[in-house]
Amino acid sequence: MAAEVLSSAKWLYCGEPEESQRAVLVQFSNGKLQNPDNVRFTLYKSNDSTNPRKRSHRILAAETDRLSYVGNNFGTGALKCNTLCRHFVGILNKTSGQMEVYDAELFNMQPLFSDELVESDSPLESQIKTFREKMDSCIEAFGTTKQKRALNSRRMNKVGSESLHRAVAKAAENIIDTKGVTALVSDAKHDDLQDDSLYLPPCHADAAKPEDVYKFEDLLSPVEYEALQSPSEAFRNVTSEEILKMIEENSHCSFVIEALKSLPSDEESRDHQARCIWFLDTLIKFRAQKVIKRKSALGPGVPHIINTKLLKYFTCLTYNNGSLRNLISDSMKAKITAYVILLALHINDFQIDLTMLQRDLKLSEKRMMEIAKAMRLKISKRRVSLLAGEEEEHRLGTLCIPLPPAQTSDRQSKRRRIT
C-alpha cells in the first residue's frame, strides 16, 4: 500500500556510511551465488596511516560452505572502473519518501585455493617457479578444455624429448666405450674431407677444358637461363652515365660495376654476360638476408622460376612460432659464395679477383680462401692500383687444367678446444 501512496522521492546524498569507508558492492568472477544469505564477509583495512595511497587499501574476504573468495581495490586484481566512475547505493524510505544515497566501491571476488594447496607450495618454491610454470598452474585451475589439452600435449612432448636426449647420451657413451676417442677423431677427420662437397657445385675433375670443370648447365638450366632475359635487359643496355650513377648511389657491388664496364660489344656475348651478371648480383643480395619472410625473396622483379630456385637450393626450411619460414644458414651462405665464384669465373674467363668478391660478400679473407681452395682454384697474388695512386695486394683465383689437389678447411684447432 505504501508503494501506491508514494508518488515521488527526495534524493539525499549522505557521502560515506562510515568514516573513510564507502559502502561495499561485490561481483563474483565465476558466476552468481545460489545462496547469497550464506556468505560471510570480512573487510580488512590498511593500518598504514602515513602513506596516503596505502591508507585507502582494502581487502574483502568472503566464505561459503564450498569456496573462499577474495577481492581488493589495489594492485593488478583491482577493477579499473573504481577510478573511472563513481558507484552509489541508495536506501529508500517508502514512508517518508526520502532516498539516502551513499558512496560505494565495487569489489571483484575471485575464488581462492584451499589452505592445503597454499601450504603445499612453500614461498621459496613459489619464487623459483618460472612464468611458464605459473601460467601452467593457472591453466590447470581455470583453463578451458582446449587449453588443458594443449598443456598436456606440450608436457608429453617435453617428456619424449627428455627421453630422447637421455637415449642419445647413453648411445654416445656406448660408442665412445666401444670405439675409443682416437678412432672417433680419425672418423671426424675423414668426414672433414667431405664437408665442403655439401655446398660446392658439381665438379668434373677429369675435364679437358676449364669451362667443363664446373659446367654452366649445372648452375642454370635452359629454362632458368631463358627467364633471365627480361630482368637483365637493364644491364644489357646500360650506359656509362648509368654506371656512374650506380657508383654514386652504391646500388651494386664492385664486381658487378667492373663487369658492366667491360661488357662485350657483340650482341650475343653481351646478352650472355648481362644475364650472368644479373644473376650474380641477385645471389649476392640474396645472401645478405637471413630469414626470408615473403614468398618473393627479392621483390616482384625476380622471375618466379628464379625465386623458386633461390628458396629451394639456397635456404633451409625451418619451423618457428607456429609457421614455416626459409632460413639462410651459414652452410647455405657458403653454398651461395661457391656459386657466386662459379658465376664470376664464367664471366671473367676463369680468373677472378677473390679480394674484390670477398669484400662484396662481406667475408673474411680466410673463409674466402677456404672456399676457393675447396673449389680447386689456383691462388696467386697481384698488386692493384688504387685511385689515390697507392697499391694494395689482391688474391687472384684461377681455374686451370690440371686441377690442383683438393684442400679442405682446417678445423683441427677447433677440435682440440672441444676435446
Tens-place pLDDT, residues 364-417: 889 989 888 888 888 898 888 877 677 888 888 888 888 887 765 554 444 444
Q: Please, what sign has the CA dihedral across residues 133, 134, 140, 143?
A: negative
C-alpha cell at 199: 655446398
Strand 391-398 and strand 378-385: pairing? antiparallel
Per-residue exposure over 328-359, b if at least 16 CB sit within 10 Å of its own CB, e if not: beeebbbbbbbbbbbbbbbbbebbbbbbbbbe
Where is pLDDT greater, at 8 or 245? 245
| Listed residue (120, 1, 118) closest to 68, CA to CA | 118
State residue 82's pLDDT score: 73
Percent of the chain past pLDDT 90, that is, above it, reads: 5
- Rounded Cα gap, residues 58 and 106, in angstroms: 11
Mean pLDDT over 121-129 rounds to 58
- Rounded Cα gap, residues 117 and 280, in angstroms: 66
Q: Which of 79-93, 328-342, 400-414 has maximum average pLDDT?
A: 328-342
**Omega before 402 within 30 of 0, i.e. cis:** yes
State residue 276's pLDDT score: 92
Q: Is the pLDDT of residue 418 over 60?
A: no
Mean pLDDT over 153-161 rounds to 77
β-strand partners of 391? 385
For the chain, the average pLDDT equals 79
| Listed residue (280, 242, 278, 276) closest to 261, CA to CA | 242
pLDDT in tens, 170-187: 777 777 666 665 655 555
